[in-house]
Structure 1
Amino acid sequence: MLNDQLYPSWTESNRLAALRSYRVLDTPPEPTFDDLVQVAASTCQAPIALISLIDEGRQWFKAEVGLGVRETPLDRSICLSAMLQSGLTVVPDLNEDPRFARNPLVAGEPYLRFYAGAVLETPAGVPLGALCVLDHAPRALTEEQASTLTMLAQQVMSQFELRRIIAEQNERLAANRQVEQRQALLVRELHHRVKNTLATVQALVGATGRSTGSFDEFYRSFSRRIAALAKTHDLLTEDYWQTAPLRQIVLNELKPFAESRVPRFMLIGPSLELAADLAVPVGMALHELTTNAIRYGALSVPAGYVQIKWNVVESDEGRRLHLEWTEFGGPPVSEPQHQGFGSTLLQRVLPMQCNAQVEVHYDREGLLFRMDAPLVEQRLVPDY
């Protein structure tokens, strides 16, 4: 019992994985394999010939002649035992062999008596099944018939190997085409994003210049806005310029207050990815709201805090993002006397860039900003 030859060098899970790698199970009949079983039956002068593959719970026939079925349960499989033997297995009289005498195909219709099967074995020595011939009467094979049956089994495996190689090549070609298409889409999206970014930077230069009174003030305001734009772009590049998580966009702006002993902000909303064309203007809007809160609003005093709340609403026109920015505990709020860049961005740019509906309320208790915008659902570059 300790003889290593009694133990296979493969496991059943490995064997089944090898079988599936040939992508042959449940495929339709093919002339190449049909011809091989016809040659086997003719050469061995047997009424039945099969290319039998042992699957989990069944034996399936890639090709058959004389039996009339494409599969049987494993309790009827003679090839299951034959494939565990190397080379050719010949059973002159199945009815006299205790391994097969009670097999339903031996004890009953079609009353099989003779079996000869050559194992179908991978180059690594893993058995998949057998090329076999069967007869209704006890008999034997001549030396020439046995040799031919073995060579035909090798030809079956050669066809399986060729099939596997072609399938793997086709998969690699398909994967390469997918990569090429993805790269082309990515380049298009990158061109689009760079063009939009340059337009945004140009608008930032003009708007910041008009709303500041000195070069130093212009430089500080412009630098902060470019930094805010860069943070959102960093998130987008992690997903091939496609989407950025809303929660992270908000955290990028409020990060200086995240380690405060007293909570300075609350984020309430589901996990949500924003498409690039929505993420950029939303990121800029959150930057302006944060800057305003630090200079004049709730974040300008120790006791003040901000609540950012969002959810997704279903509508007849598709899903929409509803976002609210509410300030608490800050100085009394009054409507500004003149409109700066921040107000322009919130009330004019967001509706134009992302078709958003915007409300800004200068309540005495704290600023309230609401935005309702359609979500872009389709990705230009598909997921891997």
Structure 2
Amino acid sequence: MLNDKLLPAWTERDRLAVLRSYRVLDTPPEPAFDDLVQLAVRACWTPMALISLIDERRQWFKAEVGLGVRETPLDRSICLTAMLQPGLTIVPDLTEDPRFARNPLVAGEPHLRFYAGAVLRTPDGVPLGALCVLDFVPRRLTEDQVDTLQLLARQVMSHLEHRRAIAERDEKLEASHQIEQRQSLLVRELHHRVKNTLATVQALVGATGRSAGSFDAFYRSFSNRITSLAKTHNLLTEDYWQTAPLREIALTELKPFAESRQPRFMLLGPPVDLAADLAVPVGMALHELTTNAVRYGALSVSEGYVELRWNVTEDHGVRKLHLEWNECGGPPVNQPQHQGFGSTLLQRVLPMQCNAEVEVQYETQGLRFRMDAPLIDQRLVPAY
């Protein structure tokens, strides 16, 4: 379709991109364009007029009078040829022009004979199609009719430019509205998360203080728990405080044991993203389980290892996270004589905060922890 001498400034790919930027293809009829083809018919005394836009495999008519269709294949398009010519293309008798004599609309129904088309060209000189008039008999146009057809073609382009400007304005307004809405939701979620975090830290101070035997022990335990909480929050922050991958939460606790020659842990489960209100307590629970395993359980000896399994189930339309922590190869396990912060978190906090069902078994071969908690699927702040 390119003529290097006449149209060196664009390629067909560029032209199609420009055409689509007007967002006009396959839109409903609009009075502004319908009026222009009516004026073209009256000014040129022809039974037919079209605003033809040349797409990749078809010519589509934004407005038409007399033809009765909204599009035709490109092999029937006379405007395709006219679009590549400078100025106005006039063919007094299509049957006598070798370019169009075999066109199906000329050789067959509706037996077109006359064509005159003014190029629809963008301000940058890219042709989009043509405003054309047609007749069933050979004829010519007067000089006034030629001028009028070209004027109407310029009006078509003015309407297309105006239409595109409105569409771009509306898109920017909608994008701005979405950004404002997202920022508002993000501030609300951040406020909610900060309040929850402060409450969690306050609970950690009290619980750690009650279970610690000395200031040094309190400092170590509290610092480690705050560090674990910060790691989970870091994962949430990367997703605007929304969700954190369960596998990444587990790895933040067990990663120190990943470099051992002998495997010390196994993570078995599908990709699962946890909402913030579930990710934080689950992260803390895994921290307590890991800390306990390092001090007293499977990770306290070189031959011990931990197996963490999870999957997602559905119960009466509610999606639930099923998680199991199993320790093997460690020293014999006994029921603890008193309940510390870790036991309280696993057996009391998780059920209250996450509506979870939990089970802790102190079996001789290793600690077993099992949890079923409802998954929160709705994101407060939409994804980009």
Specify the TM-score bucket, using the shorter chain as the normaliser: over 0.9
Q: What residue identity is the alignment partner of 2:75? A: D
Q: What's 1:372 paired with? A: 372
Q: What's 2:253 paired with? A: 253
Following TM superposition, by how much is the alpha carbon of 1:8 offset from its aligned partner in structure 2, in angstroms? Answer: 4.7
Q: What's 2:304 paired with? A: 304
Q: What residue identity is the alignment partner of 1:32? A: A
Following TM superposition, by how much is the alpha carbon of 1:108 offset from its aligned partner in structure 2, in angstroms? Answer: 2.2
Q: What's 2:335 paired with? A: 335
Following TM superposition, by how much is the alpha carbon of 1:60 offset from its aligned partner in structure 2, in angstroms? Answer: 1.2
Following TM superposition, by how much is the alpha carbon of 1:346 offset from its aligned partner in structure 2, in angstroms? Answer: 0.3
Q: What residue identity is the alignment partner of 2:150? A: T
Following TM superposition, by how much is the alpha carbon of 1:7 offset from its aligned partner in structure 2, in angstroms? Answer: 6.0
Following TM superposition, by how much is the alpha carbon of 1:78 offset from its aligned partner in structure 2, in angstroms? Answer: 0.8
Q: What residue identity is the alignment partner of 2:243? A: T
Asked whether 1:108 is paired with 2:108, we answer yes
Can you give the 5+ residue segments of structure 1 that lack an aligned partner in the other structure?
none
Q: What residue identity is the alignment partner of 1:131? A: L
Q: What's 1:202 paired with? A: 202
Q: What's 1:223 paired with? A: 223
Deviations, residues 113-157 of structure 1 (Å, cap 9, x unaligned): 111100111222221110001112212122221121111111101
Deviations, residues 204-229 of structure 1 (Å, cap 9, x unaligned): 11111110111111111111111110
* TM-score normalised according to structure 1 size: 0.97
Q: What residue identity is the alignment partner of 1:94? A: L
Asked whether 1:137 is paired with 2:164, we answer no
- Mapped partners of 1:109, 1:345: distance in 2: 82
- Mapped partners of 1:33, 1:258: distance in 2: 69
Q: What's 1:147 paired with? A: 147
Q: What's 1:326 paired with? A: 326
Deviations, residues 1-26 of structure 1 (Å, cap 9, x unaligned): x9830665323222222111111111
Q: Which moved more, 1:144-153 or 1:2-11?
A: 2-11
Following TM superposition, by how much is the alpha carbon of 1:318 offset from its aligned partner in structure 2, in angstroms? Answer: 1.3
Q: How has the CA–CA distance of structure 1 residues 254 and 337 changed in structure 2, closer, same or farther, with 3 Å as cutoff?
A: same
Q: What's 1:313 paired with? A: 313
Following TM superposition, by how much is the alpha carbon of 1:37 offset from its aligned partner in structure 2, in angstroms? Answer: 0.8
Deviations, residues 89-113 of structure 1 (Å, cap 9, x unaligned): 1111101001111112212222211
Q: What residue identity is the alignment partner of 2:300? A: S
Q: What's 1:14 paired with? A: 14
Matches within 5 A, 1:256-271: 256-271=256-271
- Mapped partners of 1:280, 1:165: distance in 2: 47
Q: What's 1:212 paired with? A: 212
The size of the alignment, in residue pairs, is 383
Can you give the 5+ residue segments of structure 2 that lack an aligned partner in the other structure?
none
Q: What residue identity is the alignment partner of 1:29? A: P
Q: What residue identity is the alignment partner of 1:327? A: E
Q: CA RMSD in A?
A: 1.3
3-state SS in 2 of match to 1:382: coil
Q: What residue identity is the alignment partner of 1:67? A: L
3-state SS in 1 of match to 2:324: strand
- Sequence identity (%): 79
Matches within 5 A, 1:272-287: 272-287=272-287
Q: What's 1:183 paired with? A: 183
- Mapped partners of 2:24, 2:213: distance in 1: 76
